[in-house]
Chain A
Amino acid sequence: MLKFIVPFGLFLLLAVFLMVGLFRDPSYVPSPLIGKPAPEFSLPSLQDAAYPVSSRELLGQPWVLNVWGTWCGGCRQEHDTLIAIARAKTVPIVGLNWKDDNALAQKWLLELGNPYAVVAEDREGRVAIDWGVYGAPETFLIGPDGVVLFKHIAPMTMEVWNKEFLPRIEAARAASGSKS
């Protein structure tokens, strides 16, 4: 009897592992930044190069960093969703314009609407490397204490926002409220 159960059990175990592997996206790379302090940056604003956008000014509140570029198809796809999210005014969305052309990026925001509280221009792509960005669009959630809480790779959808971002924002607000 044991002779039959043991191999069958091993087979089932292997089948479960392979089954799980079947539904995982191999191109998804989990971020080592989750739970760590967000990399600091200070970049010129897209609309006015004289005005710097600094990550330090955002401390004390949960905020979202959205990495985009006019060359990125998925960014066009998620744009209307970002506008809808921004309209709810839950958290400020900070744009990181990644390796883009300034004029094209400004035109994009004028024509399609601007969901961003502020947009930082990362022409060289160095800040993107600090954040471990490898494929736009990517969206980070940062807590009031400046710790990265979540990262979504792929176009933002309302479903992802409601399921992954909103509960974490509420939890972060509750945690920082109880501390003060």
Chain B
Amino acid sequence: MIASLLRIFLLAILLASGGNALAIDAQDAFDDPVLQERYENINRELRCLVCQNQTIADSNATLAQDLRREVRDMIAAGQTDEQIRVFMIERYGDFVLYRPRMTAGNFLLWAAPVLLLVIGALVLVRVVRRRARETDSESDGPEAGQS
């Protein structure tokens, strides 16, 4: 009983510390925790183009290593997050971003949920009105339609 409780406890600790254990580099890139956090956040937003469903924070492909080095050097050189993002987009296109921007090319995709909702609402209104008219004229004779 105690042994199994202990096992669960150990498992819980392992799971809780999983976030840190997942970091791929053996050492932190920066001594400064603020810079290190920026570094990790940017890495988590950039796609590794070799292994497309991983971020460069997750991947150990050589390209991901090179891109992490590039991010580290740019942070060390005092560049802003936005400058680093632009650097990556200029080279690899919007696909490198895990959180896509709204552009002229993909505007329709962003607008689609609202657009479909509006179209659906219009169809609904039309159908309901027509049904109401039909049932009115069927059931109650001519006067009932005037309400």
Contacts and interface: CB of A to CB of B under 8 A. Distances in A.
Contact of B93 (A31, A129, A135): A31
Contacts of B91: 32-33, 129-132
A121 B16 CA distance: 45
Contacts, number: 39
Contacts of B94: 32
B50 A29 contact: no
A20 B95 CA distance: 20
A134 interface: yes
A168 interface: no
A32 B62 contact: no
A129 B67 contact: yes
Nearest to A130: B91
Given A99-B62, A134-B63, A27 B70 contact: no
By secondary structure, the A interface counts as: loop
Interface string A26-53: 1101111100000000000000000000
Interface of B: 49-50, 52, 62-63, 66-67, 70, 89-95
A32 B92 contact: yes
A73 interface: no
A135 B62 contact: no
Interface string A128-147: 11111011000000000000
A32 B63 contact: no
23 contacts: A26-B52, A27-B52, A29-B49, A29-B92, A29-B95, A30-B93, A31-B93, A32-B89, A32-B91, A33-B91, A99-B62, A99-B66, A125-B63, A126-B66, A126-B70, A128-B66, A129-B67, A129-B91, A130-B91, A132-B91, A134-B63, A135-B49, A135-B50
